[in-house]
């Protein structure tokens, strides 16, 4: 490929498929056309593409734009941030990072590839901050349900924002008992969510353990959603059902969420490098460089 191509790394965070595209030192940008084309190929399919650009704020390590596989932009991606930190820690031989995102400044620390922590910021629970299309005084449970009106399968989800809008349905049974692939895309686009929403089913196993499945806005069902794990943990604590430090088991493994005393939510988990390539950020054409 030509010198106009940009290097990228194919990675994953607990099975959440991530591409980290290095766009530092360039004037051009990744386009939605390129993102959709990359996501459509089996080898480069991703849940989120992390576009790493030069910093615009002094003292930060980079500006990150986050693409969903449908070509839309996301505000936050905790699993993707861990992948970025892992890649940059290898390159720069440092362990502490500060990045600019659409959700604000995010800090990250790498102990090793299995213990990468990201400060996901403060959860927001006000209906206008999520946002919702109408006012709800108590967002620990809003009027929304799955299934027949007189016999809903799930109802009264908690809603929160962790940079992305989230709705969490609390399941009395195993999270695999529900057809998330059927109602996820419907509820993602429900009129109550003007910016769409991530839809999760959560089962609280203990005060320090939640099991979670998520339909991600713009990506579909994924093996892990870091911001959903944070939203679920924070919402469960607000309801008095969980501690401030919890293990959240997602299909890809375990994330550890700590809602700290200063209200910052810190997520810890692994990241894994798979292979590298080069891509045209305008068209999405690509080639594998290192297996």
Residue from 256, 210, 214, 217 nearest 237 by CA: 210
Instruction: Determine how many CB atoms are found less than 10 A away from the CB of residue 82.
Output: 31
Token pair recorded at residue 160: 């929160």
| CA 31 – CA 100 distance, rounded (Å) | 19
Helices 226-238 and 78-92, packing angle to 10 deg = 130
Q: Are 183 and 11 in contact (CB under 8 A)?
A: no
| CA 256 – CA 221 distance, rounded (Å) | 20
| CA 197 – CA 179 distance, rounded (Å) | 17
Q: Which of 83, 225, 230, 242 is catalytic?
A: 225
List of residues 6+ apart from 223 with CB closer than 8 A? 12, 14, 15, 16, 17, 250, 251, 252
Instruction: Determine how many CB atoms are found less than 10 A away from the CB of residue 139.
Output: 21
Buried b / exposed e over 216-225, threshold 16 CB at 10 Å, is bbbbbbbbbb
End-to-end CA distance of the chain: 17
Q: Which of 77, 83, 230, 242 is catalytic?
A: 77
Catalytic, 77? Answer yes
CA 75 from chain centre, in angstroms, equals 9
Residues annotated catalytic, as ranges: 77, 225
């Amino acid at each position: 490929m030509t010198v106009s191509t940009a290097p990228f790394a194919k990675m994953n965070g607990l099975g959440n498929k991530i591409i980290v595209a290095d766009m530092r030192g360039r004037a051009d940008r990744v386009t939605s056309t390129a993102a959709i084309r990359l996501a459509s190929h089996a080898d480069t399919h991703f849940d989120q593409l992390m576009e790493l650009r030069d910093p615009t704020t002094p003292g930060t390590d980079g500006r990150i734009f986050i693409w969903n596989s449908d070509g839309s932009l996301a505000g936050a991606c905790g699993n993707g941030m861990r992948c970025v930190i892992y890649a940059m820690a290898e390159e720069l031989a440092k362990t502490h990072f500060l990045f600019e995102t659409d959700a604000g400044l995010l800090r990250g620390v790498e102990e090793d590839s299995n213990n990468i922590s990201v400060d996901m910021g403060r959860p927001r629970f006000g209906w206008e901050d999520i946002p919702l299309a109408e006012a709800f005084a108590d967002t620990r449970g809003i009027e929304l349900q799955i299934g027949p009106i007189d016999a809903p399968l799930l109802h009264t989800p908690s809603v929160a924002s962790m940079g992305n809008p989230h709705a969490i349905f609390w399941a009395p049974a195993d999270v695999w008992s529900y057809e998330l692939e059927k109602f996820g895309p419907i509820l993602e686009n429900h009129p109550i969510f003007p910016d769409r929403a991530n839809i999760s089913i959560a089962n609280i196993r203990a005060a320090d353990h939640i099991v979670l499945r998520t339909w991600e806005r713009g990506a579909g069902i994924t093996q892990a959603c870091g911001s959903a794990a944070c939203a679920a943990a924070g919402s469960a604590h607000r309801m008095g059902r969980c501690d401030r430090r919890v293990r959240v088991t997602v299909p890809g493994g375990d994330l550890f969420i700590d809602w700290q005393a200063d209200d910052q939510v810190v997520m810890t988990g692994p990241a894994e490098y798979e292979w590298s390539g080069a891509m045209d950020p305008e068209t999405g054409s690509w080639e594998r460089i290192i297996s």
